[in-house]
C-alpha cells in the first residue's frame, strides 16, 4: 500500500512539473531562437517563439522577445504592437504597486518551490529599456512626438522603481532578522562573486537607469525645440556615465548651438549589438538554521553568462571616414548589477524555502517515510534558479552624433555596406548587429547588396 502511495505521489509530481510552464527551460528555447536571429532567419526565430508560446495568455517575456524580433525584421509597427502588450502588463504591475506596495515588499511567496514559479514581471532594467526601445522605433519612423510620450513614461517608471526598491530594502532587512538568516553573498563558497563586484558593475548607480535612455531624451527634446527639457536628460546621462566627452559636449552645444544650415541635419547613429546575457543556475552548499539546528544543504542560485555572439565594435566608417563609437548602455553590466542588488533577497527566499522543506520532510518522515522520500525527490527535481530574462534585448548600445548634409551617405560596418538617406533636421538612425548580421529599421538606412564572390569557373577565366 505504501509503495502504491509513493508511486501516486511521484506520478502526481511528474504530471505537475510537466504541465507547469515555470519548469520549462527558457534559456534552451531562446538559445535556439537566437541562433536563427544570428543567421538572419527572423521568420524561423518568430516561428520557434510562437511554437513555445502556444497558449492564449501570453506572458511578458513573449511580448518582449517578439517585439525585438519584429524590429530586427524591419516590421516597426508589428514590433510596437507587441511591445504595447508588454507595456500594458508592466503598467498593470505599476498600478498594483501603487495600490498595494506592501504586497511587493516581502516577496516570499516562492518558499514552497522556487523563484521560477513566481509570475515574471521583468527586471527593472527591462521595464525601462522597453520604453526606450519603443522610442527608438518611433524615431526610426520619424515620429518625435510619439517618442516623447515613451520618454516621459520612462522617467515616471524610473521614479516608481526607485521608491519601491528603497522600501523593499528595509523590508528585506527586517525579514532576514525575523527569520534568523545571516547568510550573505560572500558566504556562497564557489559562487563567482567577483563577476558581481566588477568595476563596471559597482560603478553603476543602480540597475535600471541608462545613460543612453537619458541622452536620447535630451536629443528628442532638443529636436522638438524644448531645450529646457533637453538639459536634464543630457545632465543625467553625464551623471550616469561620468568623464564621457560626448555627453559633456551635448550640454555645451545646447548652451551654444552652432548654426545649422537648411541643408544640414543633426544625426544620431545608434548601433545596438549582441544579445542580453543569459542566466544560469549553480548549486552552492549553504548552512540553514532550522528547529533542529544548522543543516548544510545545496541550494540553487542564478549566475550571469556573457553573450559571445557578436564582436565588440568601437568605430564605423562614414563616407570613408572612421568615426569612434561611444558606449552609453551595457545590458550585461545592468543585468549583473540587478542580480547583485537582488542576491540578498534571493538568498533569503532560498534559505527560508530550504528550512520550510526541511521541517515538512521531517514531519512526513515521522508519519510516512516513503512520503518523506517522495518530497525529497520532488525537492531535488524542482530545485533550480530562475533563468528567465529578456534574451533578444541588445547587449550594447553605442552612438555617434554628427552633423551631415541632407541626402545620401555611405556607411560601412564589418561585412556590410549601407546607404543612409538623411532628410530631417534631426534624425535618428537605428542599426542592429547580431553575429555577422546587420539589421536596419525605418527608411533612413538600407543595406547595399555586396557583389557575390566569383565562381571557380569565372575565376579561372580571368
Q: What is the pLDDT of residues 384-409, one digit of tens each?
A: 788 999 999 999 999 999 999 999 99
Please compute the mean of the pLDDT values over residues 296-311 and round it to a whole number: 88
Asked if residue 173 belongs to a domain, the reply is yes
Q: Using only C-alpha atoms, what is the Rg of the chain?
A: 25
Say which CATH number the domain at 425 has: 1.25.40.10
What pLDDT was estimated at residue 457?
46
Q: Which domain holds residue 286?
A: 2-257+266-446
The model's confidence at residue 143, banded by pLDDT at 50, 70 and 90, is very high
Q: Give the chain's domain count.
A: 1
Residues above pLDDT 70, as percent of the chain: 81
Of 294, 288, 363, nearest in space to 111 by CA: 288
**Residue 259: pLDDT above 70?**
yes
Of 282, 108, 298, nearest in space to 195 by CA: 282
Asked if residue 198 belongs to a domain, the reply is yes
The model's confidence at residue 215, banded by pLDDT at 50, 70 and 90, is very high
**Residue 154: pLDDT above 50?**
yes
Residue of 174 and 376 predicted with greater confidence:
174
Asked if residue 88 belongs to a domain, the reply is yes
Asked if residue 457 belongs to a domain, the reply is no
The three three-digit cell numbers of residue 71, written as one number: 524590429
Indicate the SS3 state at residue 436: coil
**Residue 446: pLDDT above 50?**
yes
pLDDT in tens, 334-378: 999 999 999 988 888 887 777 766 666 565 566 666 655 555 555
What pLDDT was estimated at residue 382?
60
Distant-in-sequence, close-in-space partners of 432: CB < 8 Å, separation ≥ 6: 71, 72, 271, 272, 273, 394, 438, 439, 440, 441
> pTM (2 decimals)?
0.87
The three three-digit cell numbers of residue 462, written as one number: 580571368
Asked if residue 456 belongs to a domain, the reply is no
Asked if residue 77 belongs to a domain, the reply is yes
Q: How long, in residues, is the chain?
A: 462
What pLDDT was estimated at residue 415?
85
Please compute the mean of the pLDDT values over residues 304-323 and round it to a whole number: 94
Asked if residue 459 belongs to a domain, the reply is no
Asked if residue 451 belongs to a domain, the reply is no
Torsion of CA 159, 160, 163, 167, to 10 degrees: -160
**Phi-psi label, residue 303: left if phi above 0, alpha if psi -120 to 50, beta otherwise:** beta
The half-sphere exposure of 250 on its side-chain side, counting CA atoms within 13 A, is: 34
The model's confidence at residue 12, banded by pLDDT at 50, 70 and 90, is very low
Mean of all residue pLDDT scores within the chain? 85
Of 82, 60, 59, 62, nearest in space to 71 by CA: 82
Amino acid at each position: 500500500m505504501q509503495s502504491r502511495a509513493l508511486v501516486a505521489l511521484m506520478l502526481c509530481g511528474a504530471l505537475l512539473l510537466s504541465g507547469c510552464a515555470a519548469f520549462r527551460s527558457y534559456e534552451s528555447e531562446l538559445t535556439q531562437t537566437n541562433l536563427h536571429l544570428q543567421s538572419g532567419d527572423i521568420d524561423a526565430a518568430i516561428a520557434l517563439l510562437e511554437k513555445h508560446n502556444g497558449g492564449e495568455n501570453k506572458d511578458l517575456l513573449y511580448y518582449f522577445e517578439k517585439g525585438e524580433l519584429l524590429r530586427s525584421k524591419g516590421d516597426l509597427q508589428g514590433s510596437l504592437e507587441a511591445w504595447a502588450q508588454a507595456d500594458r502588463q508592466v503598467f498593470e504591475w505599476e498600478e498594483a504597486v501603487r495600490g498595494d506596495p506592501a504586497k511587493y515588499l516581502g516577496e516570499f511567496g516562492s518558499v514552497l518551490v522556487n523563484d521560477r514559479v513566481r509570475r515574471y514581471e521583468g527586471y527593472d532594467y527591462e521595464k525601462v529599456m522597453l520604453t526606450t526601445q519603443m522610442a527608438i522605433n518611433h524615431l526610426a519612423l520619424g515620429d518625435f512626438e510619439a517618442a516623447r510620450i515613451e520618454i516621459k513614461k520612462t522617467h515616471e517608471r524610473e521614479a516608481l522603481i526607485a521608491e519601491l526598491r528603497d522600501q523593499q530594502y528595509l523590508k528585506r532587512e527586517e525579514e532576514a532578522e525575523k527569520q534568523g538568516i545571516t547568510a550573505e553573498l560572500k558566504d556562497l563558497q564557489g559562487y563567482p562573486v567577483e563577476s558581481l563586484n566588477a568595476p563596471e558593475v559597482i560603478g553603476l548607480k543602480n540597475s535600471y537607469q541608462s545613460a543612453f535612455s537619458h541622452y536620447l531624451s535630451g536629443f528628442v527634446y532638443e529636436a522638438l525645440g524644448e531645450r529646457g527639457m533637453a538639459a536634464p536628460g543630457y545632465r543625467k546621462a553625464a551623471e550616469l556615465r561620468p568623464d564621457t566627452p560626448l555627453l559633456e559636449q551635448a550640454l555645451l552645444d545646447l548652451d551654444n548651438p552652432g548654426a545649422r544650415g537648411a541643408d544640414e541635419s543633426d544625426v544620431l547613429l545608434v548601433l545596438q549589438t549582441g544579445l542580453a546575457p543569459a542566466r544560469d543556475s549553480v548549486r552552492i552548499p549553504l548552512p540553514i538554521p532550522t528547529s533542529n539546528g544548522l543543516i548544510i544543504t545545496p541550494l540553487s542560485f542564478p549566475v550571469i553568462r556573457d553573450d559571445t555572439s557578436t564582436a565588440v565594435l568601437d568605430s564605423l566608417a562614414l563616407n570613408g571616414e572612421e568615426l569612434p563609437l561611444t558606449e552609453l548602455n551595457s545590458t550585461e553590466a545592468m543585468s549583473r548589477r540587478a542580480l547583485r542588488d537582488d542576491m540578498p533577497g534571493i538568498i533569503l527566499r532560498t534559505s527560508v524555502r530550504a528550512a520550510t522543506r526541511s521541517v515538512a520532510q521531517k514531519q512526513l518522515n515521522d508519519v510516512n517515510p516513503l512520503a518523506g522520500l517522495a518530497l525529497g525527490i520532488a525537492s531535488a527535481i524542482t530545485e533550480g534558479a530562475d533563468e528567465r530574462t529578456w534574451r533578444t534585448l541588445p547587449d550594447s548600445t553605442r552612438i555617434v552624433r554628427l552633423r551631415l548634409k541632407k541626402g545620401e551617405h555611405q556607411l560601412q560596418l564589418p561585412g556590410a555596406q549601407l546607404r543612409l538617406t538623411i532628410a530631417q533636421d534631426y534624425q535618428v538612425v537605428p542599426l542592429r548587429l547580431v553575429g555577422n548580421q546587420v539589421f536596419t529599421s525605418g527608411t533612413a538606412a538600407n543595406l547595399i547588396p555586396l557583389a557575390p564572390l566569383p565562381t571557380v569557373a569565372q575565376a579561372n577565366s580571368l
